[in-house]
């Protein structure tokens, strides 16, 4: 439930930033169409960047490398 509220607030704030940065009046039909185009572009880039970050995290090597001397030989001398 908290995730959905966060998602709605995030999308709402994003739409407010689009309206304010482009000086759009949503009562005007042309401005409303421009808002839909900008909002769809913003969502597309958001999902594209999220997909790139996710693929980078998945492709990362998370296991430590093997140490031939033992796990604590490099630490304690």
Could you report the per-residue pLDDT of 14-60, keeping only the tens digit for each?
999 999 999 999 999 999 999 999 999 999 999 999 999 999 999 88
User: Residue 12's pLDDT is what?
Assistant: 95
* Rounded Cα distance, 46 and 64, in Å: 32
* DSSP assignment string, 4-50: HHHHHHHHHHHHHHHHHHTT--TTSHHHHHHHHHHHHHHHHHHHHHH
- CA 14 from centre of chain: 12
Tell the residue number behind the tokens 């689009």, with chain if given: 18
Instruction: Decide if pLDDT at 77 tops 90.
Output: no
Q: How confident is the model at residue 61 (pLDDT cuts 50, 70, 90)?
A: confident
Q: What is the pLDDT of residue 70?
A: 62
């Amino acid at each position: 439930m908290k995730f959905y509220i966060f998602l709605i607030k995030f999308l709402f704030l994003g739409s407010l930033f689009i309206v304010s940065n482009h000086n759009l009046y949503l009562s005007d039909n042309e401005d409303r169409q421009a808002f839909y185009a900008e909002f769809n572009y913003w969502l597309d880039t958001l999902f594209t960047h999220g997909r790139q970050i996710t693929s980078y995290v998945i492709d990362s090597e998370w296991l430590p490398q093997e140490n031939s001397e033992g796990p604590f030989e490099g630490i304690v001398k």
